[in-house]
């Protein structure tokens, strides 16, 4: 298991029958916990929600093939759960279900040949957006990558996803290449 350093060092360990699950404080009212390959169905659901936010009339059932191909012990997964501090009313009837997801992978820089971290998925459900969760998860991803010796981190984003583009620009991400497509008739 890869050890990673968090901006919020308070943590506890939850032990299930099959895996050790690390839970850490991400932000006030939010915890982040490690996922596993057993979270296949939930990860597919989060990927589908990500794409359906941008393309609501499209069927994304095929994304299960992507998850099946890439989800492994080498592609870490983290879930964010809403855990309100005491003295705050709980407005969510399922407060422990995941409200955000970060899924990481590996890529090879085609210029330098060096392995580096790649963000497969960053998703926060709409009800919890604009609370710093995306930014905190990006910092979490960067810390994970630094701790394993990576010198860069990469991701892909749709040009039409202006909220995500703004976040990445604020965090000093730069465009290195453009992915171009041409429909063939």
Q: How far is CA 136 from CA 27, 31, 34, 91, 129, in A?
A: 8, 11, 15, 22, 12
Domains of the chain: 11-170 (3.40.630.30)
Sheet containing 153-155: give its strands across.
11-15, 20-27, 30-34, 77-82, 98-108, 115-124, 153-155
pTM strictly above 0.75: yes
Contact partners, residue 105, CB within 8 Å, separation at least 6? 70, 74, 75, 117, 118, 119, 120
Please give the chain's pLDDT, 185 residues, in tens. Answer: 344 343 333 333 333 334 556 789 999 999 999 999 999 999 999 999 999 999 999 999 999 999 999 999 999 999 999 988 766 555 554 456 899 999 999 999 999 999 999 999 999 999 999 999 999 999 999 999 999 999 999 999 999 999 999 999 999 999 999 989 999 99
């Amino acid at each position: 298991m890869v050890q990673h350093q968090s901006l919020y060092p308070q943590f506890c360990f939850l032990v299930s029958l099959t895996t050790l699950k690390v839970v850490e404080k991400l932000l006030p009212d939010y915890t982040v916990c490690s996922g596993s390959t057993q979270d296949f169905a939930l990860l597919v659901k989060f990927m589908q929600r990500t794409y359906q936010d941008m393309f609501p009339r499209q069927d994304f059932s095929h994304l299960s093939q992507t998850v099946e191909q890439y989800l492994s012990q080498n592609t870490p997964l983290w879930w964010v759960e809403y855990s309100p501090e005491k003295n705050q009313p709980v407005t969510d009837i399922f407060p422990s279900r995941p409200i955000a997801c970060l899924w990481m992978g590996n890529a090879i820089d085609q210029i330098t040949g060096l392995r580096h971290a790649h963000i497969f998925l960053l998703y926060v459900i709409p009800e919890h957006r604009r609370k710093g969760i995306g930014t905190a998860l990006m910092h979490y991803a960067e810390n994970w990558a630094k701790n394993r010796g990576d010198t860069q981190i990469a991701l892909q984003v749709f040009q039409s996803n202006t909220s995500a583009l703004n976040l990445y620009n604020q965090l000093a991400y730069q465009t290195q290449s453009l992915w171009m497509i041409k429909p063939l008739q």
